[in-house]
Structure 1
Amino acid sequence: MALSREQLAQRVAQEFKDGYYINLGIGIPTLAANYIPDDMEVILQSENGILGLGPFPLEEEVDADLINAGKQTVTLASGAAIFSSAESFAMIRGGHVDLTVLGAFEVDCQGNIASYMIPGKLIKGMGGAMDLVAGADNIIVTMTHASKHGESKLLPECTLPLTGKGCIKRVLTDLALLDIEDGSFILRERAPGVSVEEIKAKTAGTLIVPDHVPEMQF
């Protein structure tokens, strides 16, 4: 069975390491803030000038003046700092973010990502994605494996305008966890109950399947 949004966020959080500075993109990536292990300390950064984001607020905790880069209301962790977006982007461009988690429309087996524009459709826009893919060495993309029409989003070559070239090394979809190496997707894990055959059928780019592909653990 394909992973839910919450399961995707939970699996992404398993990629966090103690002491990491992390930027979480809009959508599914942001939900990962709710699954940080209790014994781990990571610092979440937002492009609009917050260092030290907390989990999503409960209804009684909502402060309409406290938002992240996606205009979602947020909470602050103990010791959080608020500063200008210019300083925030200097942190990103200076390579001081240890892990970035982004959504995407397409990723190809060369590590290219298309995440900000679909011609003819109204999309929120670039945001900080282009700076994040240029300034970070460790980027995970999380998205559905295929579109609602069943078309693969893991391609031999992206068809949409690129956000970044050759910058993506790992992709988590609702069906699988894959690494990108030497022009191929390498299947590392599969969602519980999802077969290798289904993943093959929904991956348009070159896919390498190891002898053993374990199910994801939650």
Structure 2
Amino acid sequence: MLDKTGIAKRIAKEIKDGYYVNLGIGIPTLVANYIPEGINIVLQSENGLLGMGPFPFEGEEDPDLINAGKQTITTLPGSSIFDSAMSFGMIRSQKVDLTILGAMEVSENGDIANWKIPGKMVKGMGGAMDLVASAKNIIVAMQHVNKAGESKLLSECSLPLTGVKCVKKIVTELAVLEIASGGGFRLLERAPGVSVEEIRKATTGKLIIEGEIPEMQI
């Protein structure tokens, strides 16, 4: 079973050289620390930054440099800072190759709910709806089950949707899965020490298992 760092490390392996990547709030922000050597990418933040680096070491934080989740960050040589209107222009014109987001629920058709629980106060959806509507590739980083032990991979999302049929792949503490073309969660890899049966029990939506499922390499 993976912790949050393990999920981030596994997702980092999905990043290709030359990608422009947007990291959502939560587990996705950790991916910046695990970009593979030899891979050159540009991290984009919707609050107006292109060229984010890893998180700063303690004592080296600059309060004027933050990501969309208000965490202090670093910048790389050649980075640029601009207003949010330009940032969202980049997103809406599909300049972002890969978006990595957290989620509360994902459906077997690739729908995502990640911004609101009815009855709870929220500040807003941020850039999530723009990102899921415009990104060429969306990977979700999330826990497989909620605090009550209930699956977050469902036949249909019960929470307000952020996007419809947009998720391509999901990485959880238990597994790597992709959304099959006809619907369903196709199991690609299982986390170290996790059995296929454990993943089956933790998945409410349609789970597609084909052949021997390898253990993921972190």
Question: TM-score, normalising length from structure 2?
Answer: 0.98
1:1-218 equivalences under 5 Å are 2-181=1-180, 182-218=182-218
- Report the AA paired with residue 217 of structure 2: Q
Number of aligned residue pairs: give it: 217
Cα deviation for residue 29 of structure 1 reads: 0.4
User: Which ranges of structure 1 fall in alignment gaps of 5 or more residues?
Assistant: none
Rounded Cα–Cα distance in structure 1 between residues aligned with 2:97 and 2:136: 8
Tell me the secondary structure at the aligned position of residue 28 of structure 2.
Answer: helix
Rounded Cα–Cα distance in structure 2 between residues aligned with 1:107 and 1:124: 21
Rounded Cα–Cα distance in structure 1 between residues aligned with 2:53 and 2:154: 35
1:49-93 deviations in Å (ceiling 9; x for gaps): 100000001112101111111111110011100011100000000
Rounded Cα–Cα distance in structure 1 between residues aligned with 2:129 and 2:135: 10
Cα deviation for residue 169 of structure 1 reads: 1.3
Rounded Cα–Cα distance in structure 1 between residues aligned with 2:142 and 2:161: 16
Q: Relative to structure 1, is the Cα distance of residues 192 and 76 closer, same or farther in structure 2, using a 3 angstrom cutoff? A: same
Rounded Cα–Cα distance in structure 2 between residues aligned with 1:170 and 1:40: 21
Tell me the secondary structure at the aligned position of residue 164 of structure 2.
Answer: coil
Cα deviation for residue 124 of structure 1 reads: 4.5
Rounded Cα–Cα distance in structure 1 between residues aligned with 2:31 and 2:142: 13
Rounded Cα–Cα distance in structure 2 between residues aligned with 1:169 and 1:155: 15
1:99-156 deviations in Å (ceiling 9; x for gaps): 0000000000011000000012234530100000001120000100001111000000
Rounded Cα–Cα distance in structure 2 between residues aligned with 1:58 and 1:37: 19
Rounded Cα–Cα distance in structure 2 between residues aligned with 1:125 and 1:35: 29
User: Which ranges of structure 2 fall in alignment gaps of 5 or more residues?
Assistant: none
Rounded Cα–Cα distance in structure 2 between residues aligned with 1:60 and 1:38: 26
- Report the AA paired with residue 4 of structure 2: R
- Report the AA paired with residue 64 of structure 2: D
Percent identity for Structure 1 against Structure 2: 63
Query: Which stretches of structure 1, 4 residues or longer, exceed 4 Å deviation after superposition?
Result: none
Rounded Cα–Cα distance in structure 2 between residues aligned with 1:63 and 1:21: 24
Tell me the secondary structure at the aligned position of residue 60 of structure 1.
Answer: coil
Rounded Cα–Cα distance in structure 2 between residues aligned with 1:186 and 1:16: 20
Rounded Cα–Cα distance in structure 1 between residues aligned with 2:13 and 2:189: 13
Question: TM-score, normalising length from structure 1?
Answer: 0.98
